[in-house]
Amino acid sequence: MLLAGLATGGIYALVAVGFVLLWQTSQTINFAQGEFVMLPAFFVLAAMKFGGLSFPMAMLAGFAVSLLVLGLLFKRLVVDPVICHGVLPLVISTIALAILMKEGVKEFYAADAQPFPAAWATTNLQVAGMVVSVQNLVIIAVAVLAVAALQYFLGSTRTGRRMQATAQNPALARVLGIPVGRMVLYTFLINAGLVALASFLVSPIYLAKFTNGETLGLVAFVAAIVGGFNQVRGAIAGGLLLGVVDNFVAAYLSAQYRAAIPLFLLIAVILLRPQGLLGRAEERTV
Amino acid sequence: MKPKSGTDHVFLFPSMIRGKRGLSLIFALIAVALLIGAPFGLKPYGIYLLSLWAVMTIAAIGLNLTLGYAGQISLAQASFVGIGAYTAALLTTQGWPLGAAFALAALLCFVIGWLLGYPALRVAHHYLAFVTLSFATLVFLILRNEEWLTRGVYGISGIPRPAPLGWSTKAPQDFYFFCLGVLALASIAAWWLLRSPWGRAFTALRENPIRASSLGIDTRRYTLMAFAIGSALGGVAGVLYAPLVQFIEPTAFTLGLSFNLLLMVIVGGAGRFFGPFLGAAVSVLLPEWLRFSEGLYLMLYAIFVMVLLAFFPSGLLGMAERLRASWPRSSKSAS
Amino acid sequence: MMKSFIAVGLALGAAAASAQQTVNMPIVIELSGAGAVSGTNFRDGAVLAIEEINAKGGILKRRINAPQADTQSNPGISRAQVQKAIDGDPYVILGPVFSGSVKANMVLAQQAEVPQIVGAEAAEITQAGNPYIFRTSFGQQMSMPKIANYLRDGLKARTVAVLWVNNDFGKGGRDTFVKEMAARNIKVVSDVSTESGQMDFAADVVKLKGANADAIFVYTNEEESARFLREARKQGIDKPLIGETTLLGQKVIDMAGPAANGARGHVGLSADAPVPAVLAFKEKFSKRFGYVPDHNGIKGYTGVYAVRYATEKIGRFDRKLLARTLHGLTIKPEEEPGILMETTWDNNGDIDRISFLAEVVEGKQKIVQTLPKLGGGK
């Protein structure tokens, strides 16, 4: 049970981390984040169906296309033209983008759920008398690896540290000679990569469907805030927490109100510790 | 007449723009005439669409207060519409008059809006968006799970049409005029609110929150009021929605409708008084016009919104203003 | 607004012009949203029937004209679409499939005295005293007793767990099911509600495992069924999973893959029924649309043919008379091949037909037993 919660939480964490990165670096609140997770799976399916590629090749192709579309194109076509008008229009724009992506998949691919092949065995193990699902283990492993890699990249490589500098103070970063535009682009690409990964992990279980993004998006937002939106670690913590709590509540408390858990956590955090569980208190910059 | 200064986006009623008074008045009269005359040439479905437009406009006016004037994103407007609708349904199926529902729903939504906004606005601007997002889910769950009150998924059917002062509104046309009446009242109320000292403070907030607070205006209190009033208007719209469709159930009041309302306000022109009217018209009529494209119309609408935001973030009315402002000087001599 | 004026005017003109040679049977159906799968199947089945009938000259020499409207699985929108359909002076209205939508809009059709042929299964629909509503498949009040009997006699279950989707379809089914269980002294030890569109069933499966019932009754929509089956397989549930038509449908089997094997249950309508007419229909459908139909396709197909048969029987287009004729009517496949299996409608619009017990074996639905009509007959 805990394992399942951690697995779900791992997915949430991946999505929340990307979301937080975007927010931190470029003031982009991406309301389409959930749909970003929905889409890569369809790139893969399309590659297999229309391109005739084998599954592994299709995964690579799907990953690459995701980076391109959800990273580069998203930044150039959607974010850049609108962000000069402020954060509010950008938020609305991403809401419209989410609708566009959903309808696009529905129209051009299929309205019903599609089976998505798993890249690993769908068997079960018997560990200490409990049935443990290999899928859950793989998800946790991959999520942990991805986040660890990201942390390493951000903390220990030159580019990573430059990205952090850009996030904390873009004006100063520019003065220091850091190519801010490029750093921002990297965050978009990283987000695209993270959501693609989440997509490949989650679609075999949930089936690929155009509505997949709705719940995932909501949870990602709440995870980011609950964990502390100005720290990547916060997003991870938030995601894991939500995943575990969601599963436990559904199993032992009320299944009917399970979807309200994010709200309660959110209100609680806002009232008691507004910077999030792991976040730093932020000052308003005048 | 006050000279046009930078922060004078406040006075958006066209008559305030020099030299255009006559033209705008004629425009307004034509619009009102059309609205009154329209149902006589239409079949019940067309009249239904018009009534729906009126209802949506009321909700959009409310959201415009929150979004366009106070600058906050609310994703729970549909939930307030839902609360209003259920209040009306529960009361009128028990024999209470619709007026009671209006009063109760407006009060309820105002209070809930206040309670909801209070913690959220304590922190930072963008938090209200997420809080309302989660609240929307909660309201849906309550509407669905608490069967003893709302009949849950089975919904409430047989909602009667009101009969204010003995005038029965069962016929589509009659109910449409009722909706139009309520819309007129709501518009006048909103208009009056915006022209009052309260309203001017709202707009000061939007333009420059820091300057406003330095002037001693309690930013948070005004934003909260805007959100609460906007939510109350959502409730009013809901009260009208219930007798329109005569059967309600929880799935009508989810995020989808909230997004729809949001887009209405944005497309029409956030912060413009007539923005909601235009936006609601676009949203209600677009599916009909684009019916030939079947599934594509939502995509086209989304693309349209994204492009609009990139070039005209103030919506269609903002676009109209800019175009009008760029007309040559000759128009000024008309005053 | 002017544009809609003109549009309405044109539509009126066009309708008037074509009224002489056609009969109007609009299809108001779920083509998007949660009901897209069922709705599309229903629509395609109806369209197949309409094309066949028109190829042979139509009904009483009039071609069928069937404009389609998408309810988007939203009851409010479905109501508006039915209103629009009624404005166009229809003979009958086909659809919707979703119970919630039907309940929202059937009052309109009733007031306009237009017969409505629906694919919905919620029990309430035929209990509201509407003389114009007609089903194309079993209502829950017919199917649940059959399942209950199977549980009691076939599986000899003493305890049962029920997993259901929290919308009016699922809740109606669950309420009826629980009633039937009580009547047979079978204890419901676990009652798990799930969301429409739910993706994660881990917690629900844990609950079910904990309850340790003799059998688990699964009553959700297509995709959720598939996801649930996968999760159940993942966590190693070993108790029998019993369903009602949906769980054993081809779509669910496709989506769930090997996790679907072993699922059993009652199937009111099946494209795999050992009835030659049904199998032939499946062939035609697959060839025409490129996918295998589910039971909703049969609903749409037989619904249209029922209207044709009854209309030809009366000899003219009379909506009220049609409704009266359908009540108590039995249509045999010998007289109307399009009906596929002998069907009887009662005075509430409910249907009586043979049905089947089935099991999913190696990715295919296998009929294990045929159950007779409740009212006798073939």
Check if the beta carbon of residue B135 is closer than 8 Å to that of residue B114. Answer: no
| pLDDT score for B216 | 67
CA pair distance C102, B230, nearest whole angstrom? 33
The alpha-carbon gap from C229 to the nearest alpha carbon of chain A, in Å, equals 10
CA pair distance C217, C247, nearest whole angstrom? 10
Residues in Cβ contact with B123 at an 8 Å cutoff, skipping those fewer than 6 apart: A270, A274
| pLDDT score for B18 | 45
**pLDDT by residue, tens only, chain C of 378 residues:** 555 555 555 555 555 544 458 899 999 998 877 777 788 899 999 999 999 999 998 898 899 999 988 888 888 888 889 998 998 899 999 989 988 888 888 888 888 999 999 999 888 888 888 999 999 988 888 888 888 888 888 888 899 999 998 887 888 889 999 999 999 999 999 888 888 778 778 888 888 888 889 999 999 988 889 889 988 887 888 889 999 888 888 778 888 888 888 888 888 888 878 888 999 999 999 999 888 888 899 999 999 999 999 999 999 899 999 999 999 999 998 988 888 888 999 899 999 888 888 898 888 888 888 887 776 554
Residue of C nearest to B284 (CA): C1
Tokens of A126: 């018997």
Q: Do C206 and A205 touch (CB under 8 A)?
A: no
Tokens of C197: 């569109």
Q: Do A222 and B134 touch (CB under 8 A)?
A: yes
Q: Show residues of chain C in contact with A12, CB under 8 Å.
A: none
Nearest to B123 among A92, A259, A274 (CB): A274
C-alpha closest to that of C277 among C260, C255, C302: C302
Least confident of A272-276, B191-195, B262-266, C255-259: A272-276
Interface of B with C in 149-168 (CB under 8 A): 152-155, 157-158
B76 or A118: which leads in pLDDT: B76
Q: Show residues of chain A in contact with B145, CB under 8 Å.
A: 256-257
Q: Do C207 and A207 touch (CB under 8 A)?
A: no
C-alpha closest to that of A237 among A225, A227, A248: A227
Residue of A nearest to C231 (CA): A205
Alpha-carbon distance values, C106 to A72, B90, C97, C346, C349 (Å): 50, 21, 12, 18, 13
Residue of A nearest to C31 (CA): A111
Q: Show residues of chain A in contact with C230, CB under 8 Å.
A: 205
CA pair distance B71, A85, nearest whole angstrom? 13
CA end-to-end span of chain C: 56
Q: Which residues of C125-140 are buried (b: 16+ CB within 10 A; e: fewer)?
A: bbeeebbbbbbbbbbb
Nearest to C8 among B42, B52, B145 (CB): B42
Q: Show residues of chain C in contact with A114, CB under 8 Å.
A: 255
What ipTM was reported for this prediction? Answer: 0.77
| Residue C62 bridge partners (DSSP) | C59
Tokens of C329: 């009517």
Nearest to B288 among C4, C83, C166 (CB): C4
C-alpha closest to that of C59 among C247, C356, C304: C304
Kindly report the average pLDDT of chain B as a whole number: 80
Mean pLDDT of B225-245: 92
Check if the beta carbon of residue B294 is closer than 8 Å to that of residue A95. Answer: no
| pLDDT score for C297 | 92
Residue type, C109: A
| pLDDT score for C49 | 94
Check if the beta carbon of residue C27 is closer than 8 Å to that of residue C68. Answer: yes
Q: Show residues of chain C in contact with B46, CB under 8 Å.
A: 4, 8
The alpha-carbon gap from A74 to the nearest alpha carbon of chain C, in Å, equals 26
C-alpha closest to that of B65 among B254, B296, B263, B231: B231
C-alpha closest to that of A66 among A209, A193, A182, A210: A193
**Probe site for chain B from A29, A77, A79, A93 (most B CB atoms < 10 A):** A93
Least confident of B31-45, B102-116, C94-108, C284-298: B31-45
Q: What is the pLDDT of residues A220-239, one digit of tens each?
A: 888 887 777 667 777 888 88
Burial category of B319 from C-beta neighbours within 10 Å (exposed 0-12, middle 13-18, buried 19 and up): middle
Band of the pLDDT at B333, cuts 50, 70, 90?
very low
Q: Quick check: B16 contacting A, CB < 8 Å?
A: no
| pLDDT score for C194 | 87
Check if the beta carbon of residue A218 is closer than 8 Å to that of residue A19. Answer: no
Chains near A (3 or more Cβ pairs under 8 Å): B, C
Band of the pLDDT at B10, cuts 50, 70, 90?
very low
C-alpha closest to that of C294 among C273, C277, C312, C275: C273
CA pair distance A210, A101, nearest whole angstrom? 8
- In Å, the largest CA–CA distance within chain B is 67
Nearest to A99 among B133, B134, B302 (CB): B302
In this structure, what is the dihedral angle of CA atoms A53, A59, A64, A67, given to the nearest 10 degrees?
Answer: 140
**pLDDT by residue, tens only, chain A of 286 residues:** 677 788 888 888 888 888 888 887 777 888 888 889 888 888 888 888 887 778 888 888 888 888 888 888 888 888 888 878 777 788 888 888 888 888 888 777 776 677 777 766 656 666 665 666 777 788 888 888 888 888 888 878 888 788 777 777 777 878 888 887 788 888 888 889 888 888 888 888 777 777 777 778 888 888 887 777 667 777 888 888 888 888 887 777 766 777 777 777 877 777 777 666 666 555 433 3
| pLDDT score for A122 | 58
| pLDDT score for B8 | 39
Q: Quick check: B251 contacting C, CB < 8 Å?
A: yes
Q: Quick check: A99 contacting B, CB < 8 Å?
A: yes
Check if the beta carbon of residue C340 is closer than 8 Å to that of residue C359. Answer: no
Q: Show residues of chain C in contact with B48, CB under 8 Å.
A: 80, 83
Chains near B (3 or more Cβ pairs under 8 Å): A, C
**Probe site for chain A from C165, C199, C205, C252 (most A CB atoms < 10 A):** C199
* HEC assignment per residue over C72-135: CCCHHHHHHHHHHHHHCCCCCEECCCCHHHHHHHHHHHHHCCCCEEECCCCHHHHHCCCCCEEE
Helix runs in C112-197, H state only: 140-149, 168-183
Tokens of A73: 């194109």
The alpha-carbon gap from A255 to the nearest alpha carbon of chain C, in Å, equals 6
Check if the beta carbon of residue B237 is closer than 8 Å to that of residue B59. Answer: yes
Specify the DSSP element, H or E, that contains C366: strand C364-371
Q: How many CB atoms are closer than 10 A to CB B166?
A: 5
Q: What is residue C71's three-state secondary structure?
A: coil
CA pair distance C6, A171, nearest whole angstrom? 57
Check if the beta carbon of residue C222 is closer than 8 Å to that of residue C255. Answer: yes
Residues in Cβ contact with B231 at an 8 Å cutoff, skipping those fewer than 6 apart: B62, B66, B74, B76, B77, B80, B109, B110, B112, B113, B116
In chain B, the percentage of residues whose pLDDT exceeds 70 is 83
Q: Show residues of chain C in contact with A122, CB under 8 Å.
A: 233-234
What pTM value is reported for the model? 0.82
Residues in Cβ contact with A25 at an 8 Å cutoff, skipping those fewer than 6 apart: A163, A166, A167, A183, A184, A187
Backbone phi, psi, residue C266, to 5°: -90, 135
| pLDDT score for B198 | 77
ω into residue C145 within 30 of 0, thus cis? no
Band of the pLDDT at B229, cuts 50, 70, 90?
very high
Q: How many CB atoms are closer than 10 A to CB B210?
A: 10
Check if the beta carbon of residue A23 is closer than 8 Å to that of residue A230. Answer: no
Q: Do B43 and C8 touch (CB under 8 A)?
A: yes
